[in-house]
């Protein structure tokens, strides 16, 4: 007798999909902004999807969260003030890593309160950052926040979904210009910028928009097995280029060698970037 199997499939395109065998659907909720599903999987622990797209799994969330925080944090000088802004990141994972590496004041602006609530229930280790007194959680529109706040930050992290739907404005030149104004002199912004293999448009939007605003734009990459193609890019912007490197503690993925290696880009990625700049 063949038992019925349950699978969650992410359709990467009309012609490619990755499927996870699941034990159970733990939660499914349609919010004002998006649909959130949480699955209990066999090999990847708890899996969170937004609008059918894998956001994170217990198995490999550390790669994304270490790389989106520790790489830019490596380029702050020793006198940095310790202030960070996270736009998106309602799971708390990015704030968690910033606290771990010594940030003193973090503002986290997440548009959808349900993401926070879901994370508190299913990823308590990550969401614990929201009960830390150093973290101020604002439920609101990050684009509006960036346009209107007068605060300054060493780092601004755009931890968003891909540039379709609610996150599209987070890949625009206008938004990047507002973020630039929030940075301290030596500050760095970073955004996730998609898979260079399957979503070159996300990388192009980030590099092209940031290129018009920042003196220096640098893309780096990481191996994230549960994201499309397993090959993920992040793009950093700074006014004067990235300076001397501060030694950070080693993570589960991040180390000082990874910091060096992640900016050495395959030729086809360099070409994608050169077509724009």
Residues involved in catalysis: 159
CA distance 182 to 188: 10
Element (H, E) at 20: strand 16-30
Which CB atom, from 122 or from 254, has the smaller least distance to a second copy? 254
251 binds a second copy (CB under 8 A): yes
By CB under 8 A, how many residues form the interface with a second copy?
43
Rule CB under 8 A: say whether 267 interacts with a second copy. Answer: yes
Q: How far is CA 255 from CA 52, 78, 248, in A?
A: 32, 19, 8
Question: Is 258 near a second copy (CB under 8 A)?
Answer: yes
82 in the Ramachandran plot: left (φ > 0), alpha (ψ -120 to 50) or beta?
A: left
Contact of 245 with 75, CB cutoff 8 Å:
yes
- Which member of 28, 77, 264, 275 binds a second copy (CB under 8 A)? 264
The correct pick among 120, 223, 239, 276 for binding a second copy (CB under 8 A) is 223
Q: Which is nearer to a second copy, 13 or 79 (CB)?
A: 13
Among 50, 55, 56, 60, binds a second copy (CB under 8 A): 60
- Cβ proximity to a second copy: between 5 and 78 the closer is 5
- Half-sphere exposure of residue 262, counting CA atoms within 13 Å on the CB side? 29
H/E stretch holding 232: strand 231-238
Q: How far apart are CA 164 and CA 174, in angstroms?
A: 17
Instruction: List residues binding a second copy (CB under 8 A).
Output: 9, 13-21, 41-44, 60, 63, 195, 197-198, 221, 223, 225, 229-231, 250-255, 257-258, 260-268, 270
């Amino acid at each position: 007798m063949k038992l019925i199997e349950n699978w969650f499939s992410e359709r990467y395109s009309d012609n490619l999909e990755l499927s996870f065998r699941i034990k159970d659907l733990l939660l499914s909720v349609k919010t004002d902004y998006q649909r959130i599903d949480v699955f209990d999987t066999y090999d990847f622990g708890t899996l969170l999807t937004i609008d059918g797209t894998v956001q994170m799994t217990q198995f490999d969330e550390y790669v994304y969260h270490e790389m989106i925080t520790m790489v830019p944090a490596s380029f702050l000088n020793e006198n940095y003030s310790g202030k960070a802004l996270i736009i998106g990141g309602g799971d708390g994972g990015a704030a968690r890593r910033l606290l771990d590496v010594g940030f003193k004041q973090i503002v986290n602006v997440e548009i959808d309160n349900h993401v926070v609530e879901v994370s508190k229930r299913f990823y308590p280790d990550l969401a614990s950052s929201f009960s830390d007194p150093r973290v101020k959680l604002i439920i609101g529109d990050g684009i509006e926040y960036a346009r209107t706040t007068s605060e300054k930050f060493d780092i601004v992290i755009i931890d968003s979904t891909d540039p379709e739907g609610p996150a599209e404005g987070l890949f625009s030149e206008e938004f990047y210009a507002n973020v630039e104004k929030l940075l301290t002199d030596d500050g760095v912004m970073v955004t996730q910028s998609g898979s260079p293999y399957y979503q070159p448009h996300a990388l192009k939007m980030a590099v092209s928009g940031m290129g018009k605003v920042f003196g220096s734009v640098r893309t780096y990459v990481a191996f994230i097995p549960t994201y499309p193609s397993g090959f993920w890019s992040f793009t950093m912007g700074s006014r004067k280029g990235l300076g001397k490197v501060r030694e950070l503690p080693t993570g589960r993925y991040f180390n000082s060698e990874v910091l060096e290696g992640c900016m050495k880009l395959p030729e086809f990625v360099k070409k994608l970037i050169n077509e724009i700049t």
